[in-house]
Structure 1
Amino acid sequence: MEPNKVSVVVPIYKVEKYLNRCVDSIINQTYSHLEIILINDGSPDKSGTIAEEYAKLDNRIKVIHKENGGLSDARNFGVQYVTGDFTLFVDSDDWIEVNMITELVHNSLKFKADVVQSAFYYAHQDHLLFDNRFYQKDDPPIILDNEALMAELVMNERVKNFAWGKLYKTEIIRDIPFKKGVLFEDVFWAHLVMKRVKTYLILHQPLCYYFQRGDSIVSDYSPRNLDIIKGLKERQIFIEEFYKNLSNESYKVLLKTIFIHYNLLLVNRKKDPKGTNKKELQIYIKKNYVKFINAAEKDNNLKKQLLLFSIHPYFNILFLFFRKLLRKFKIVPTPLGLEKINL
């Protein structure tokens, strides 16, 4: 008997190549008490037609067509139609294991968890990657209270900011919309949801596949990618107000992200021809230098980067280059990588 309905929300846009794989993985779940909400976000390809064909075959599927408004708008639209006790977000180029929802619901009920997170694979065309730096696949579940959860969310290692890969009690998320018109929308959303969570459960068995498309962030980079920094700045204000003890860790994540995007802007000079975005990042670091240096006090590498960057950003780049060189020749240790599984 499956008394708890699960609503699966799937935003759809230009995914005709991947949509069958995604929807098939949902309709074939061992947990059958599902409501599958497919939101066609004004997709110009055949995605909407494919979705309608599925709806004819499975009465659990609702197809909603709307004008294009982006991923956040599509998710928000879909949540309006949710009637399930639990909600699961699945991106339309990803897919899930046949027993994923059974496992998530079972463990949510067993541990009385507000949110259950599963491990996942980074799925490439010819191989999978699994993050085994912290946990092994057969490790027992981990329970986090609210304080521990927020600490993990800020670090973004064991608990990612991703909305997908997690089963939520619907009552927790229903009135927290995703921010529209931004990239990295999950960064703006996750901390607001997690503040409401009393019990968070981490499962280590990988139950979903996060598809990695061929285009890289370097080749496809644009100033819109800086939205992630806007999201982290918003979160910093939130952390200062509600979780003051996590302020330094939050500033560290923000600083590391700024350095990454400053370097990406350098590589993609044509996308920032007047250097306006780079200057804004420099000004922000200068304005908050004391906070950043305090946050980086126990992180020697980050502290060096900040000191060098404050002299000139190119000094930081030289530091990173030489560190990479030293790692290549095994003079300094290489950070642990991910487990690779060939297909």
Structure 2
Amino acid sequence: MEEETKVSVVVPIYKVEKYIHRCIDSILNQTYKNLEIILVNDGSPDRCGKIAEDYGSKDNRIKVIHKENGGLSDARNYGMKQVTGEFTMFVDSDDWLEIEMINNMVNSAITNKADVVQSAFYYAYEDKLLLDRIYDSQNASPEILDKKTLMHELVTNEKVKNFAWGKLYKTEIIRDIPFKKGVLFEDVFWAHHVMHRVNTFLMLKQPYYNYYQRNDSIVATYTIRNLDMITGLKERHQFIKEYYQELLDESLKLLLRTCLVHYNLLLANRKEDSDGFHRKKIRTYVKNYNSELALIDDKQLKKQLILFRIHPYLNVGFLIINKVLRKMNLISQPLLQVEVRRL
């Protein structure tokens, strides 16, 4: 029976006093009861530690760990040391779960002998829930991916997301793969190592995870640390080069596209790169792939790269013109998300 299988839920906690009750309550209220809930207080300066202890005193399924602040990766790694369940799930402390999530994911994992199960998810705003268009058909049957297909979907970042959350993992698959400490976008450094070990990956089309979207703009809060995304993709590209040669082109397209995005973000936040060092570094890196330009089959990306090679401002101008044309409905704009309901 599924209920005989213990599931460990690791929740790193830092400065989320406003959201923590919603998160923990959504785990405690799961229809699946055989849980080990590991709350890792990552040196939070607010009342989060006290709130976690209060929950721990009321439910013996909860373990509370207090540690000095070390970041999300460090908190997850600490939590993993305490895991005793056959399956493990990560939940970010400002997110929340639908009540049937764990029950349905465990049942699906056991039935399909899956190493990892991923559910669809909502982009959760204060007043509405949005769903990826690829999951628009919520009544669709689960989809099983073999390793080759799984890695392709991970690299293209469409069906399979890099996020550690929103998935149920066999603990033995991930126990000895720690998250890289001291970086942002830690999941990008981690996910491909995990998926490399997976034989059966199951995708559920129903959205069970609510990914909370704060109002902070990436342009307004951008720092040099955001460039960790490029570093992570570069590391993954080398991994792809070693193990999945057939995915090199897809990996390169995402890497170069990400370089262009971050170059423009650095332009919008010049104070973070006042001497232009990081912009120059990105431009040099992109130019190193000039010989691969002819192989890129994405027409939009190819145009951007050609303009960027001549001068980065030409690419910026190209994007501005396209944005204006979309607002005037002179060119189509793909609908990436669909509104599901108002809150």
- Bucket of the pairwise TM-score, normalised by the shorter protein: over 0.9
Alpha-carbon distance in 1 for matches of 2:153, 2:135:
12
Maintained 8 Å contact 1:248/1:294: no
Match of 2:8 in 1: 7
Where 1:157 maps in the other structure, the secondary structure is: coil
Consecutive unaligned residues in structure 1, runs of 5 or more: none
Deviations 1:8-59 (A, max 9, x none): 0000001111110000000111000000000000111000000000001000
Deviations 1:302-334 (A, max 9, x none): 111010100000111111111112212222111
1:342 aligns with 2:342: yes
Match of 1:115 in 2: 116
Runs of 4+ in structure 1 off by over 6 angstroms are none
Maintained 8 Å contact 1:123/1:209: yes
Maintained 8 Å contact 1:107/1:116: yes
Consecutive unaligned residues in structure 2, runs of 5 or more: none
Alpha-carbon shift at residue 278 of structure 1 (Å):
0.5
Match of 2:161 in 1: 160
Where 2:134 maps in the other structure, the secondary structure is: coil
Maintained 8 Å contact 2:135/2:206: no
Match of 1:304 in 2: 303
1:236-315 matches, cutoff 5 A: 236-291=237-292, 293-296=293-296, 298-315=297-314
Match of 2:187 in 1: 186
Alpha-carbon distance in 1 for matches of 2:122, 2:301:
29
1:331 aligns with 2:330: yes
1:15-164 matches, cutoff 5 A: 15-133=16-134, 135-164=136-165
Deviations 1:254-290 (A, max 9, x none): 0111111111110111111111111100010112222
Deviations 1:154-200 (A, max 9, x none): 01111110000000000000000000000000000000000000000
Maintained 8 Å contact 2:12/2:75: yes
Maintained 8 Å contact 2:134/2:159: no
Aligned amino acid, residue 299 of structure 2: N
Alpha-carbon distance in 1 for matches of 2:22, 2:331:
43
Alpha-carbon distance in 1 for matches of 2:86, 2:134:
33
Where 2:320 maps in the other structure, the secondary structure is: helix
Alpha-carbon distance in 2 for matches of 1:270, 1:118:
40
Alpha-carbon distance in 1 for matches of 2:171, 2:185:
22
Maintained 8 Å contact 2:120/2:135: no
Task: Give the TM-score taking structure 1 as reference length.
Answer: 0.98
Alpha-carbon distance in 2 for matches of 1:98, 1:223:
38
Where 2:264 maps in the other structure, the secondary structure is: helix
Maintained 8 Å contact 2:142/2:203: yes
Task: Give the TM-score taking structure 2 as reference length.
Answer: 0.98
